[in-house]
Amino acid sequence: MVWQEALRFHPTVIHFGRQAEVDTTLGGKYKLPAGSIVTISHCMLTHSEEIWGPDVMSFSPERMEKGYPEMHMPFGFGGRTCIGKRLAYVEGVYLLAFLVKNFRLRVGGDAPVPTPYVTITHSAKEGIQLMMSRRSD
């Protein structure tokens, strides 16, 4: 649940692009000729109150208990789903569990709030200062 919420809260890929192969109509009213480019904003989907509720800007892993909407697609969708999706899930969950079990983690004392840096991916412009100390318990 924590991994899924982290991917929702801070998606790595911020948008997906697709090209219409044939003339089509979306939602019964938007006509797209073949060759039209459609961009789907993953950030808008992951931060939509309509989809995730009024606390959308809160990090809340519990929201994933009942599964998650089909609009949650951190690795893309369809024929262009990221080929490394399953490996990323396994490695991500393992790494998160390993870090939490073996280390105490905290943000650096006077570290500034990260400034989002958006290109094709989503990251922190100046990085994030993370302090780690080995657990003794």
Note whether residue 76 is domain-resident. Answer: yes
Residue 68 has pLDDT above 80, yes or no: no
> Are 46 and 69 a contacting pair, CB within 8 Å?
no
- For residue 73, the model assigns a pLDDT of 85
Give the highest mean pLDDT range of 41-45, 62-66, 73-77, 83-87: 83-87
Q: Tens digit of pLDDT for each residue in 14-30?
A: 888 889 999 999 889 99
Q: Which residues are annotated as a binding site?
A: 82
Predicted confidence band of residue 66 (pLDDT cuts 50, 70, 90): confident
The answer to whether residue 136 is domain-embedded is no
Lowest-confidence segment of 28-32, 41-45, 94-98, 112-116 by average pLDDT: 112-116
The model carries a pTM of: 0.73
- What is the percent of the chain where pLDDT is above 90? 37
Distance CA 94, CA 28 (A): 43
Position 34 scores a pLDDT of 96
In a domain, 69, yes or no: yes
Residue 20 lies in a domain: yes
Q: Is residue 118 part of a domain?
A: no
Within-domain flag for 6 = yes
Q: In which band, very low, low, confident or very high, does the pLDDT at 123 lie, cut at 50, 70 and 90?
A: confident
HEC string for the chain: CHHHHHHHHCCCECEEEEECCCCEEECCCEEECCCCEEEEEHHHHHCCHHHHCCCCCCCCHHHHCCCCCCCCCCCCCHHHCCCCHHHHHHHHHHHHHHHHHHEEEEECCCCCCCCEEECCEEEECCCCCEEEEECCC
Q: Is 3 helix (H, G, I), strand (E, B) or coil?
A: helix
More confident residue, 125 or 84: 84
Q: Considering its fold, how many domains does the chain have in total?
A: 1
**Residue 71 belongs to a domain:** yes
- Binding-site residues for heme, in ranges, read 82
Domain that holds residue 75: 2-102
Give the span between the Cα atoms of 91 and 98, in whole angstroms.
10
Contact call for residues 33 and 20 (beta carbons, < 8 A): yes
Note the pLDDT tens digit of each residue in 77-96: 888 888 999 999 899 999 99
In a domain, 116, yes or no: no
